[in-house]
Amino acid sequence: GQQLNQSPQSMFIQEGEDVSMNCTSSSIFNTWLWYKQEPGEGPVLLIALYKAGELTSNGRLTAQFGITRKDSFLNISASIPSDVGIYFCAGSFSGSARQLTFGSGTQLTVLP
Amino acid sequence: ETGVTQTPRHLVMGMTNKKSLKCEQHLGHNAMYWYKQSAKKPLELMFVYNFKEQTENNSVPSRFSPECPNSSHLFLHLHTLQPEDSALYLCASSQEPKETGELFFGEGSRLTVL
């Protein structure tokens, strides 16, 4: 089946630093989604990407749909303590939610 | 408030117990899902219901039994579980067909099997 490799697995950064994480797929996707899961909560959708090369922002978050359609990147600028959580990428070839493949997550810790 | 509500939030059960997890969505969606989340692993899709019909069952052991009485409610019945079944069980919903792939998750039910 499809596999997503998400890296890094964890990050410890100082408040104010920028953060980058990425996902690569063994096959082409037509939809890339980025979710954030805070402790004790379910994942919440941050950004959705539907077109190769697309760059989309949501506040301090920016995500890109790789031109090869096999990767995606998430950047967080000027991190703050509430950015703490697990960030998941998810991709789908068909675009259907039932065929989403998830990455294993990037655990982000922001140090004051 | 995510629009998807799960109860209970925490559950501890013995291997011989029978319990159920409940999910309710207030988003008017027609598809509902159960996912299993274990530490440092990708989310594992267990079951999908579309218009109350089960459309996916990803080789889940029979000790997990889903029930979807209507498009707003989803249950996961648990019976004679194993310690390795301890995990966070997430319910999600979506509107299908809508090729955006967006899932809306509940807050999860943390299950511990002793």
Structure tokens at B78: 């648990």
Q: Please tell me the predicted confidence (pLDDT) of residue B51.
A: 73
Distance CA A66, CA A29 (A): 10
* pLDDT, tens digit, 9 for 90 and up, residues B35-94: 999 988 889 999 999 876 777 677 899 999 999 999 899 999 999 999 999 999 999 999
CA distance A65 to chain B (A): 14
Per-residue pLDDT for A53 more than 90? yes
Q: Is the pLDDT of residue A12 over 90?
A: yes
At residue A7's C-alpha, the angle toward residues A6 and A11, to 5°, is 135
Q: Is B31 helix (H, G, I), strand (E, B) or coil?
A: strand
| A71-76/A61-65 β-pairing | antiparallel
Distance from CA of A85 to the nearest CA of B (A): 13
Residues of A in contact with B24 (CB under 8 A): none
